[in-house]
Amino acid sequence: MTEANTPAIACRKLWQVFGDGAEKALTDALARSGNDADKAADLLRDAGMIPAVQDANFEVHDGELFVIMGLSGSGKSTLIRCISQLLSGTGGEIRIDGEDVRGASKKRLTALRRQKLGMVFQHFGLFPHMTVTENVAYPLRVQGISRAERTERAREVISLVGLEGREDSFPRQLSGGQRQRVGIARSLAVNPDIWFLDEPFSALDPLIRRQLQDEFLNIQATLKKSIVFITHDIAEALKLADRIAIMRDGKIVQIGTPTEIVLHPVDDYVREFSKDVAKGQHAIVSSVMREGETQFGPDDPGLQTGMTLDAALAKCMNLYEPVPVRDSSGEVVGIVHPSDLAAALQVDEA
């Protein structure tokens, strides 16, 4: 997570309201509530409007995998459609690489999509009348790239997602997992900088889902895209994310790393989510480490900052005194009390 000067995506006070005359209603509601988002949302609801996204503020950094998580109806799909400008947004600001896309012309948006943006859909959104290759090459075709050239590029991406041999199949001849591979390949055809994935694995059965998640992580490890990833599955979010935003009823209630979400949920709603998660597998030692302290006992079980709490606890089973923690270079950067490890895992019972 390198802090670049301009984030890949930045949303400021972003609203998406559905209903007749939404734009004016939002301005009025914000004025009447004195720019209080919650009050404004209530006012809008009273007026029969649907504030699907309320006052969303976040940034996605270059190469970051940003997951937006929430239950169905929480507004996460609406939010990703605002960012990708499939919906125009009702108020606020969206910047992609510093460029204000809410104010952009249709032509500019088309150009942006041809160069910078790729999107994967929950139900794949494949074109039924085109073969795999034609589907994948379609974003190149609309730009007027020659058939030979676009077919060659399509074959590259198809092999990247492991679909060699199915180039001439039609979507109806493929399994669900294969279809989503086509969807992924198509979204990567123009080699976009920014990658939107709207619940890409939700429609797949669990085994295929895990397989595709792993492959997705591999692809991301080489491509390093800036990603907005939508899911309703906390396990998936924790597994993939650099940072997670949790949405509820149109509002982002918490943004944080997987560890922060698991160990320090801001409210009961978020806590509910992380309840079923084995915390020890998702939180890491650095989250309970006392940084900078060097007073530790005689035992050194060899803890590292990136280790999961489960692994750390296993090493400190019989220890009661503070132990040192090292970073990846072997330098001691802090200490951990074994009791803190155990306490962290029981945070929700408290």
Partner 1 sequence: MSADEQLTPHALTHLTRGTQVALITLLVGALCLVLEPLVPWLVIWPAEWVLPATDWVGAGLKWFLEGIKPVARLFSELMRYPMNWANAALGATPWPIVIGLVTALGWYIGGLPMAALGFLGLSFVLSSGYWPQSMNTLALVAVSVPLALILGGAIGILANEVPRVKSVVQAVLDVMQTVPTFAYLTPLLLLFGFGPVVGLIASAIYAAPPMARNVMLGLERVEPEIKEAAIMSGGTRFQQLFQVEIPSATTQIMIGVNQCLMAALSMVIIAAVIGGFNDIGWEVLLTMRKAQFGEALLAGMVIVVFAVIIDRMSGALATERKRHDRRVVWALVAFGVVFTALFWSSLPNASEFTLMDPVAGAVDSGLTAFTQANGPWLDALKNNSMFYVLLPLRIGLDQAVLPFTWGFAWTPAMSYGLFAAGAVIAALMAWRGHATGGLMVLIGIGMLETGIANLPWPFVLSGTAALGWVAGGRKLALMSVILLSTILVSGLWERALLSLYLSGAAVFACAVVGGAIGLLSAVSETAWKIVRPICDMLQTIPLFVFLIPVLMVFQIGEFSAFLAICAYAVVPMIRYTRHGLVNTPDEMMEAAISSGATEWQILRDIRAPYAAPTILLGLNQTILYAFAMLVIAALIGTTGLGQSIYLALGQADVGLGISAGAAMAILALIADRMVQGFAEERRQALGL
- Binding residues (CB under 8 A) for partner 1: these are 81, 84, 86, 110-111, 113-114, 117-119, 121-130, 138-139, 141-143, 183, 186-187, 190, 196
How far is residue 49's CA from residue 27's CA, in Å, rounded to a whole number?
Answer: 13
Q: Which of 92, 15, 90 is nearest to 100 (CA)?
A: 92
Q: How far is the CB of 324 from partner 1 (least distance, A)?
A: 50
Contact between 22 and 28 under an 8 Å Cβ cutoff? The reply is no
How far is residue 271's CA from residue 165's CA, in Å, rounded to a whole number?
Answer: 46
- Cα-to-chain-centroid distance, residue 174: 27
In the bound state with partner 1, the residue whose beta carbon lies nearer, of 113 and 290, is 113
In the bound state with partner 1, the residue whose beta carbon lies nearer, of 125 and 177, is 125
In the bound state with partner 1, the residue whose beta carbon lies nearer, of 61 and 179, is 179
Q: How far is the CB of 117 from partner 1 (least distance, A)?
A: 6
How far is residue 182's CA from residue 162's CA, in Å, rounded to a whole number?
Answer: 10
In the bound state with partner 1, the residue whose beta carbon lies nearer, of 196 and 273, is 196
* Longest pairwise C-alpha distance within the chain: 70
What the block records as the tokens of 282 is 């998702």
Start-end of H helices in the chain: 22-32, 37-46, 76-83, 106-115, 132-141, 147-160, 176-188, 206-223, 234-240, 258-263, 268-275, 279-282, 309-315, 338-345
Q: How far is the CB of 50 from partner 1 (least distance, A)?
A: 17
CA dist list (Å): 16 to 39, 188, 218, 250, 255 = 15, 28, 34, 9, 19
Q: How far is the CB of 202 from partner 1 (least distance, A)?
A: 13
In the bound state with partner 1, the residue whose beta carbon lies nearer, of 153 and 282, is 153
| Burial of residue 299 (number of CB atoms within 10 Å: 0-12, 13-18, 19+) | middle
How far is residue 268's CA from residue 232's CA, in Å, rounded to a whole number?
Answer: 17
Sheet containing 303-304, strands listed edge to edge, beginning at the edge strand earlier in sequence: 290-291, 332-336, 323-326, 303-304
Q: How far is the CB of 96 from partner 1 (least distance, A)?
A: 13
Query: Is residue 251 classed as helix, strand or coil in its secondary structure?
Result: strand
Q: How far is the CB of 153 from partner 1 (least distance, A)?
A: 14
In the bound state with partner 1, the residue whose beta carbon lies nearer, of 118 and 258, is 118
In the bound state with partner 1, the residue whose beta carbon lies nearer, of 119 and 252, is 119
**DSSP state letter for 232:** S
Q: How far is the CB of 240 from partner 1 (least distance, A)?
A: 21
Q: How far is the CB of 248 from partner 1 (least distance, A)?
A: 24
Q: How far is the CB of 93 from partner 1 (least distance, A)?
A: 21
Strand partners, 23: none
In the bound state with partner 1, the residue whose beta carbon lies nearer, of 18 and 269, is 18
What the block records as the tokens of 186 is 């198509």
In the bound state with partner 1, the residue whose beta carbon lies nearer, of 225 and 337, is 225
